[in-house]
Structures are given as structure tokens and as C-alpha cells.
Amino acid sequence: MSQSCVPVSGQSSPITRECDCLAHRFGNAADNPMRVSRYPTDMTDAEWAVVRPLLPVPGWLRGRGGQPEAYCHRQMLDAIGYLVDNGIKWRAMPADFPPWDRVYAFFRRWRDHALLQEFHDRLRAKVRMRAGRDAEPTAGVIDSQSVKADAVVGTDSRGFDGGKLVNGRKRHVVVDTLGLLLGVMVTAADTGDRTAAKVLLRQVADAHHRLALVWADGGYTGSLVEHCLAVLALVLLIVKRSDDMRGFVVLPKRSYLVRGLDGPS
């Protein structure tokens, strides 16, 4: 269920002096010490000023019960960002962040209540509007990428992609024309692109009702084109390589998805 935002006025203060997150303003975060920003993954004050008003309001502040939060939201997000960027275990969280189990509980609560998705959607809409686009996209690009799986990945969730000669997993991604993520699904690498696309495009179409056109490469030809039009009211436009193309060639619209997979350069 959608959570409302509480706009916060004023400029963001350095995290070493004071924080204006909801846990500080209305919860018990002030009872715990502040930390000094020291890692490259820590948000700058300018980044925090953008993120802060987009954060979902916690249930305890909306009268849904539960104890007021005791740890700073900015510190929690910085801790999660550090973990994702460095690939550490939760228990290996640096000591200057809140306790690892509190950070994990914060992440799990956001994940289980779809707050991560909601926050991402709000942030994407803001980026689109700053770029002069409507908040909701009307066109997108779909593609997939097979990646080698680590040895700890079980055989039940990995497979061999005969086309790419990769033993691992495949990520199927839909992005808008700015390269911003609209939907993602991870399968075993031997899952066909068209099979996964039927599921993923339905999810994306359900979440983005204005989406009318999706570009794809030759791996998505066949009955999927008719399926998208008849069932999802989506035009799936196939961008093919011409017979005289040799070697690596950037196809029209494909660069949008490369941006989405690889991130900004």
C-alpha cells in the first residue's frame, strides 16, 4: 500500500551536527550518537536533500503501532549503501554505523512492505521530470544479460546459456528511454528471453499503465509480439541487425538499456 510523504523544508545540515530525518524529528534517533561521513558511499548533503522528502513515512508515525525508530534514517541508508557497494556480510557492518541487526531489520521492513520499490519509483519519477519528461514513461527497452554465477549459487537457480556460453544466471531488464529501471527479473541462464519477457512485461505493464511501446532485439521475435499486443496492449518493436553489419554495432535504442545495466559512466 502506498505510503505518504512528509515534505521537510529547509536545507540539510551536516550529519555530524544534526539530522532532519523523521526518526530524529519524531522518533528516538537523537538518543544515539551521530557519525562522521567517511565513506565514498555516504550521501552528500545535496543528495540527502533530494532523497529526504521522497522517503516513505514509517508506520509508527502514521498511527499503525510499533515503537518510534531509534536510529537515523540517513545512517541506515548509508549503511545499506555501504553493504551493497562493498559486498560485505551483514555482520561485517563497520562499527560506526548502527548495529548490523538494526540495519538489517530496517532493510527487511522496507523490502517486505514494498517501500524500497515505492522509494525507487518516486526517485525515478523525480529524475524524469527534471529531464523534462512526464513522470510515467510511454516507451521502454527490454533485453537480457547472462552472467557467470558464483560457486555458492545452487544448481537449482543457475543454468547454461548456450548462445553466450555462460553458466550462471540471466537478468532480464526493462528500462525507460533514459535508462532508468522499470522492471527486472533474474532467472537461470538457460531461460529463454521470450519466456521471461512474457512474465516481466506483464509486471511492467501492470505497474506503468501509460507504457505503450517497447523496443527489443531479434531474440524477442515470434509469437511474443502478438502476445504483447493482444494481452498487454503493448507494441513490441523489434530492432534487427541488417545483414551487412559486422562486429560490434550499437543498434538504435539499445544504448538506453546498456545505460540501465551498467549505470552512469
Grid cell digits, residue 4: 505518504
User: Using CA atoms, how far apart are residues 49 and 10, in angstroms rounded to an integer?
Assistant: 9
| Domain boundaries of the chain, sorted by first residue | 22-129, 136-262
| pLDDT tens per residue, range 213-252 | 999 999 999 999 999 999 999 999 999 866 565 544 445 5
Give residue 156's pLDDT.
83
| pLDDT tens per residue, range 22-41 | 999 999 999 999 899 999 99
- Architecture, CATH, for domain 136-262: 2-Layer Sandwich (3.30)
The size of the chain, in residues, is: 265
Q: What is the pTM of this model?
A: 0.77
60 band by pLDDT with thresholds 50, 70 and 90: confident
